[in-house]
Amino acid sequence: MFSYKLPNGGLHARAYFNANGDIKFDPPVYEQRYTTTVRILEDPRWGQTFKKVVDFGCADMRLLSLLRRTAGIEHILEVDIDEDLLRSNKIRAEPLVSDYLQKRETPLRIELLKGSIDSSAEQLLNVDAVIALEIIEHLYPKTLENVPQNIFGFMQPKIAIFSTPNSEFNVLFKPLLANGFRHDDHKFEWTRSEFKDWALNICQKYPNYRVAFIGVGDAPPDKKNIGNVTQIAIFARCDVLDPSLSEQYRSKVSVDCRPDADTQYEEIFAVDFPIYLDERSKEQKLLDEARYQISRCRRIDRYFNRDLGVYQVPLTVLKDYIENIGATMQELLIVLKDNDIEVKDEYIILPEYEEDDDSYRHYDDCYDEEYGLWNDVEHADDETGNDDERGACGGYSHTKEDYTYDSEENWD
């Protein structure tokens, strides 16, 4: 086992009894399960992101709207045995208009697949994370028996997240269904100790894994002894918990389940999301970012050295960007030198104004007091003064009297 706590203090949730005496949860328990799953996947403690994720028993795919926005995920498999359910909820997997207007910077492929959690299909190879929320209690004994072999023997994901009802919490539900459970399709509902035994037995058979337990859906303050309404097991591969153990533990795992060449889940739908491809060279990216920072920093007073009359922009303002694109400071310096951008003592040196920057010029520079014109070109020689010459301020010449609010009433 290992110890695990949700980052940032966990969830803020509560349980209460309504006027009819029924227990309620705020937010609803299914939302707590979904947000907890995403927070586990995004937890920086793993030191990595999970690119390929499978969501077993995805049903109506309500979790998908969160998964598709989860950092690092590039490939999502939504798997369920109910083909009609997958087809009727296909719209949840389709790109939105916003996905075309603001394209992703990383790939995302979503596949809807008809298949069972105990079947070792070829599409499951190289999955990083397995999600199995509220599914194992729906499985017949033989199917449940085959699940560990498929997930921990064949797939061997970096992490796997299972959730199931905690039967100890059922004393607060009234009434239960005729089968004694919360749902008419449940084959069992486990206590915390039963769920723990199941998970630890998996780790004993597959020693490349350790497990931690958490829960969502707190009991009311005076019922804390019954645990949470939903119990969660987080299986983590030992090399994820401690990278130095990678080879040692993976060599102990017996992969006794191999896919047949013909073993495939049935594909119901698949889509690749639109992606923005930045085809600029590394040098062009560095130059563009440098010019952007130069433009930005020229408007920040703290970078202006009044004694020298120049802006001094620290090269460190570009540090994060340089690292993100895999460049070095030496490569940046070469790009700056090749484009005549001065660097001295770890600073980019900028004149107070760019040579082609007229933004600092005042209107008084363009107004001719003697002739009453917003113009500094030669004035008309005829008596009416109606020459159609452009003035230095970029517009046609106007007298003071002509330059009124009404003359710009159609400015927009």
Q: Which pLDDT tens digit goes with each residue over 280-294? A: 999 999 999 889 988
Residues 379, 347, single domain; the answer is: no
Check whether the bond before 95 is cis (ω within 30° of 0): no
DSSP-assigned letters across all residues of 311-335: EEEEGGGGHHHHHHTT--HHHHHHH
How crowded is residue 264: how many other Cβ atoms within 10 Å of its Cβ?
14
Q: pLDDT tens, 128-162?
A: 999 999 999 999 999 999 999 999 999 999 999 99
Residues 264, 286, single domain; the answer is: no
Residue 2 maps to a domain: no
Q: How far is CA 201 from CA 16, 158, 160, 243, 311, in A?
A: 35, 18, 15, 23, 66
Residues 266, 306, single domain; the answer is: no
Q: What is the mean pLDDT of the chain?
A: 84
With b for 16 or more beta-carbon neighbours within 10 A and e for fewer, the 74-107 pattern comes to bbbbbbbbeeebbeebeebbebeeeeeeeeeeee
State the CATH number of the domain containing residue 45: 3.40.50.150
Q: Residue 367 gets which letter from DSSP? A: E
* pTM attached to this predicted model: 0.72
For the ranges 38-52, 178-192, 249-263, the one whose mean pLDDT is highest: 38-52
Paired tokens of 34? 């979904």
Report the C-alpha gap between 94 and 271 in whole angstroms.
7
What is residue 92's three-state secondary structure? helix
Residues 259, 389, single domain; the answer is: no
Predicted local confidence at residue 73, as pLDDT? 97
Residues 249, 113, single domain; the answer is: yes
The H or E element containing residue 80 is strand 75-80
Residues 129, 180, single domain; the answer is: yes
**Residue 248: pLDDT band by 50, 70, 90 thresholds?**
low
Domain count for the chain: 3
**Residue 256: pLDDT band by 50, 70, 90 thresholds?**
very low
Boundaries of domain holding 298: 282-351
Predicted local confidence at residue 86, as pLDDT? 97
Q: pLDDT tens, 339-391?
A: 999 999 899 998 877 655 544 444 444 445 455 554 444 444 444 445 444 44
Residues 10-24 have a mean pLDDT of: 88
With b for 16 or more beta-carbon neighbours within 10 A and e for fewer, the 186-215 pattern comes to bebbbbbebbbebbeebbeebebbbbbbbb
Q: pLDDT tens, 57-79?
A: 999 999 999 999 999 999 999 99
> Which is nearest to 151 in space by CA: 206, 211, 70?
206
Report the C-alpha gap between 329 and 34 in whole angstroms.
42
Name the E strands within 116-252: 129-133, 159-165, 209-216, 230-237
Residues 332-342 have a mean pLDDT of: 93
Predicted local confidence at residue 294, as pLDDT? 85
Predicted local confidence at residue 299, as pLDDT? 82
Residues 330, 259, single domain; the answer is: no
Residue 135 maps to a domain: yes
Residues 235-246 have a mean pLDDT of: 86
Report the C-alpha gap between 37 and 234 in whole angstroms.
10
